[in-house]
Amino acid sequence: MTHSAAPLIDPFARPITYLRVSVTDRCDFRCVYCMAEHMQFLPKAELLTLEELDRLCTAFISLGVRKLRITGGEPLVRRGIMGFFRGMSRHLGAGLDELTLTTNGSQLARYAAELADCGVRRVNVSLDTLDADKFAAITRWGRLPQVLEGIRAATAAGLKVKINAVALKGVNDGELFDLVRWCGEEGHDLTFIEVMPMGDLGAEDRLDQYWPLSDLRARLAERFTLIDLAERTGGPARYLRLAETGQKIGLITPLTHNFCESCNRVRVTCTGELFMCLGQEDMKDLRAPLRASAADAPLHEAIRAAIARKPKGHDFDYSRQGVGGQMSRHMSHTGG
C-alpha cells in the first residue's frame, strides 16, 4: 500500500508512528489497579466491528503508522479476533513494521501459534507476581498456572515475551529480585510500570498502591550494577542493563519522570474514540466518520484534525499526598 503524501505530525513536531488499539473493554480478569470488581461494560452495539477496526487501522497505516499494538481489556477474548490479526498481517512489510499485542496471558496457550503465523513476533504479558495467592488477589479472577502455561506456549511458538509488572507497594515490592531472577532464567525482558490514576476503583486507594520506580531502581542498585541504555523502542520505557546478568529492565515512569517529550503514539478505543494522550480527556470520535462514508477522505481528515490537538504531555501527579490529573475512564476502556 502507498502512504499518503503528508505523514501525521503533531503540533510539537513529533511524528505519530505508533497506534495502540483497544479491540474490547472486556477482560477475563479484574485487576485491582485496572477495573472495579463489578464492571459495567459497554453495550456490544457501541463497539466497532472487527471490519471497522480493520478499516480504521488501515487508515492509520496509510498515514504513516508503522507499529500497531492490539490491547483491551483482554484482546484475545474478543470473538473472531484472530481473523482481525490475519487481516492486519497483510500490512506487514507494506507500511507496517510491527504487529503486536499486550495480553494477560490467559488465552496464549490457545492462540500463540496462530499469532506467530500472523506475523506477530513479540508479545507483552502483564504479570505482577509469581505468587499464586497474590496473583489471585490482584487479578481477582485469574489463575497463575494458566498464565504461565500461556507464556510457555508463546515461547514455544517463537514469540519473544516481555513481562510487564505494575509496581504495587505492599504487594509485589518484596518480589523484586524474584521477578528479575525468573525473567532472567526464562529469557524474558522485564518492564516495571508505575500505577496510573485511571478510573474509579471503589475502595482501592491509588496512593496506597503507588510504589515509585525511583525507589525500585535504588533497590536494584543495591544488588546490581545498573547501566543506562540509550535504546528506545517507540514506547514510554527507559531501559537499563544489569551488568552482572546482562538482563534488560524497562522502567515506565509517568509519575516520577514522564516520557512525553518523545511521545509518538495515540490510542483508539473499541468504540472508535481517538485519545491523543493517555493522561488527558480530550478525544476525537472516529466512529461517526467511519460509519458516515465508505470513502476514506473524511476519516483521514478527522484523524489529522485530532493529531493537530495532541497535547505536549499529561498531568498525572501524586505529589502533595494527592492524586492529580486523575482520569475518570478506566484503563480497560482506553487500552493499556
Annotated binding residue 122: no
Annotated binding residue 283: no
Annotated binding residue 260: yes
Annotated binding residue 44: no
CA–CA dist 194, 253 (Å, integer) = 6
Annotated binding residue 329: no
Annotated binding residue 265: yes
Neighbours of 17 (CB within 10 A): 17
Annotated binding residue 183: no
Annotated binding residue 239: no
Question: What CA–CA distances, in Å, run from 226 to 10, 194, 239, 275?
Answer: 34, 19, 10, 35
DSSP code string of 160-223 = EEEEEEEEBTTTTGGGHHHHHHHHHHHT-EEEEEE---BS--TT--HHHHB--HHHHHHHHHHH
Q: What is the largest CA-CA distance in the chain?
A: 59
Question: What CA–CA distances, in Å, run from 13 to 16, 234, 261, 293, 308?
Answer: 9, 15, 10, 30, 10
Annotated binding residue 27: yes
Annotated binding residue 162: yes
Annotated binding residue 253: no
Decide: 207 and 195 in contact? Cβ < 8 Å.
no
Annotated binding residue 31: yes
Annotated binding residue 267: yes
Question: What CA–CA distances, in Å, run from 63 to 3, 109, 266, 269, 304?
Answer: 6, 34, 13, 18, 9
CA–CA dist 53, 227 (Å, integer) = 41
Annotated binding residue 262: no
Annotated binding residue 86: no
Residues of each annotated binding site for S-adenosyl-L-methionine: 33, 73, 126, 196
Residues of each annotated binding site for [4Fe-4S] cluster: 27, 31, 34, 260, 263, 277
Residues of each annotated binding site: 20, 27, 31, 33-34, 69, 73, 102, 126, 162, 196, 260, 263, 265-267, 277
Residues of each annotated binding site for GTP: 20, 69, 102, 162, 265-267
